[in-house]
């Protein structure tokens, strides 16, 4: 119970961030002409930002099943890296049944919080951690879908930065503690920009862009700064 509550508490900030992001998703879906329940259905079954935004846009564009499925899958391949990384972080006695359930809730932010815990994480912690983000993502979508016509553009426009603010709040303190992490962040961003703006390379889809940038950033980092500790950047602070 203590571990569940610990995870639960750490999920609250994620939940608040999600409400603002999924709120904008709900607005978008209903403004595009889909019913409120559809917005909620998408969020409750997908629980992901970029994947479901892209998939929903393709549904709205009338794309075929194959294209929708492939585009969503490519954007979501990054979760395989996160899931593999977490497989090293979770308690060895974790039951398969529990893994099947809580892995549904591995989002970028859930992963970021779980993987930067000092010690290994167990089953109650994982259930606790995914609880509030799931509620927040669903609730925010529902509220946005219902309120789609009530909110001024100025506010819903400003909310677009919420998710990125959370990401910044995770990577900046970590790069303050470890120059290696800062270096990896810089490499990843340079790679992403190169893939986004350079001729030919810019044809690569956003999903692949993130995968390639991650492989290069983390790959170069691990080559230059291999760690012998259990933890991430934390213990490897260079000064």
Residue list 181-220, contact with other proteins (CB under 8 A): 181, 184-189, 191-193, 196, 209-210, 213-214, 216-219
**74: Cβ–Cβ under 8 A, 6 or more apart, which residues?**
205, 207, 208, 211
Nearest approach, Cβ of residue 148 and other proteins (Å): 16
User: Binding to other proteins by residue 57, rule CB under 8 A?
Assistant: no
Could you tell me the smallest distance in angstroms from the CB atom of residue 146 to other proteins? 19
Provide φ and ψ at 232, rounded to 5°: -75, -140
Find the binder of other proteins among 31, 119, 158, 202 (CB under 8 A).
Answer: 158
- DSSP string of 188-237, one letter each residue: HHHHHHHHHHSTTGGGS-HHHHHHHHHHHHHHHHHHHS---SSSSGGGG-
175 binds other proteins (CB under 8 A): yes
Q: Which two tokens stand for residue 35?
A: 């019913």
154 contributes a contact to other proteins by CB under 8 A: yes
Residues numbered 63 to 82 that lie near other proteins (CB under 8 A) are: 63, 65, 68-69, 72-73, 76-82
* Among the listed residues 4, 36, 91, 103, the single contact to other proteins using CB under 8 A: 103
Residue 68 C-beta: closest distance to other proteins, Å: 5
DSSP label at residue 140:
H
For residues 196 and 201, which CB has a smaller minimum distance to other proteins in the complex?
196
Cα–Cα distances in Å, from 173 out to 128, 177, 232, 234?
24, 7, 13, 10
């Amino acid at each position: 119970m203590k571990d569940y509550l610990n995870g639960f508490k750490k999920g609250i900030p994620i939940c608040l961030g999600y409400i603002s992001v999924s709120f904008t998703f709900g607005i978008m879906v209903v403004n595009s002409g889909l019913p409120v329940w559809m917005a909620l259905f998408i969020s409750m079954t997908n629980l992901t930002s970029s994947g479901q935004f892209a998939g929903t846009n393709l549904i709205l564009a009338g794309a075929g099943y194959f294209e929708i499925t492939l585009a969503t899958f490519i954007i979501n391949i990054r979760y395989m890296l996160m899931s593999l990384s977490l497989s090293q972080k979770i308690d060895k006695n974790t039951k398969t049944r529990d893994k099947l359930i809580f892995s549904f809730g591995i989002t970028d932010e859930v992963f970021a919080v779980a993987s930067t815990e000092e010690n290994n994480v167990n089953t109650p912690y994982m259930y606790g951690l995914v609880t509030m983000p799931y509620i927040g993502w669903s609730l925010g979508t529902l509220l946005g879908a219902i309120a789609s016509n009530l909110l001024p553009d100025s506010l819903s426009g400003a909310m677009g930065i919420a998710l990125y603010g959370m990401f910044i709040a995770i990577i900046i303190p970590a790069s303050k503690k470890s120059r290696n992490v800062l270096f990896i962040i810089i490499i990843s961003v340079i790679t992403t920009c190169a893939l986004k703006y350079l001729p030919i390379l810019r044809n690569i889809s956003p999903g692949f862009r993130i995968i390639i940038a991650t492989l290069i950033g983390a790959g170069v980092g691990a080559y230059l700064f291999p760690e012998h500790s259990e933890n991430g950047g934390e213990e490897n602070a260079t000064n």
